[in-house]
Amino acid sequence: MKTYLLIIFLVILATGCTYKGHYEGSRVSFDYPIGWKCNKPTDLPGALIIVSAPSNKAMVIIGQEKANGSLEDRYLEHVQKLQEELSKYCYEKISNRTLTVDSSKAYELVYKLGCDQTQTRQQIRMIILQKGDYFYIIECEATPEDFNKENRNFDTIINSLHIL
């Protein structure tokens, strides 16, 4: 019996199987790390779903808004708005790049907020993509100390995201 269980365990490891949850609804589909919870937002306009870590120290918010211009213009507008509105919270841009999400071009911006211990400190990875007549905005949030550790979990959601 022990040999049988060992063989099953080794097969699972060799095939790369991991335990994940799956969400499908609100016009999106994605995998998420085991133990994370999906919740419908009640007070965030445009938000479709919130996925949060068991510790509540990390979360992903997926939102939607009507496209009223090009993807690049929306991204640049959002970056400028963040710089203006969040400067009092010590907004600090860390990186930006383009990537592909659900076979579509997307823009990513990573930034930090929080001047000192009296303010909520966050590191945010924001991704904007366009599908049809809508922009989809994905915000991955964690404390700066936990951000790198959570990035693999964020990738699980982002890399499996499909707009329905």
Say if 59 falls within a structural domain. Answer: yes
Say if 31 falls within a structural domain. Answer: yes
| Number of folded domains that form the chain | 1
Which range of residues forms the domain containing residue 96? 20-163
- Mean per-residue pLDDT for 69-79? 96
Report the alpha-carbon distance of residue 64 to residue 58 in Å, rounded.
Answer: 20
Average predicted confidence (pLDDT) for the chain:
89
Say if 2 falls within a structural domain. Answer: no
Say if 60 falls within a structural domain. Answer: yes
Say if 12 falls within a structural domain. Answer: no
In sequence order, what are the residues at sequence separation of 6 or more whose Cβ sits closer than 8 angstroms to the Cβ of residue 91? 82, 83, 111, 112, 113
- Mean per-residue pLDDT for 39-54? 92
pLDDT band at 3 (very low <50, low <70, confident <90, very high): low
Instruction: Tell me the per-residue pLDDT of 107-155, one tens digit each, with 9 for 90 and over.
Output: 999 999 998 877 889 999 999 999 999 999 999 999 999 999 999 999 9
Say if 51 falls within a structural domain. Answer: yes
**In the structure encoding, which two tokens stand for residue 89, read together?**
């919270």
> What percent of the chain has pLDDT above 90?
77
> Are 157 and 31 spatial neighbours (Cβ–Cβ below 8 Å)?
yes
Domain CATH code at residue 67: 3.40.1000.10
pLDDT band at 83 (very low <50, low <70, confident <90, very high): very high
**In the structure encoding, which two tokens stand for residue 85, read together?**
């509105």
Q: From residue 156, how far is each of 3, 28, 68 by CA, in Å?
A: 32, 14, 29
Report the alpha-carbon distance of residue 4 to residue 1 in Å, rounded.
Answer: 5
Say if 55 falls within a structural domain. Answer: yes
Say if 13 falls within a structural domain. Answer: no
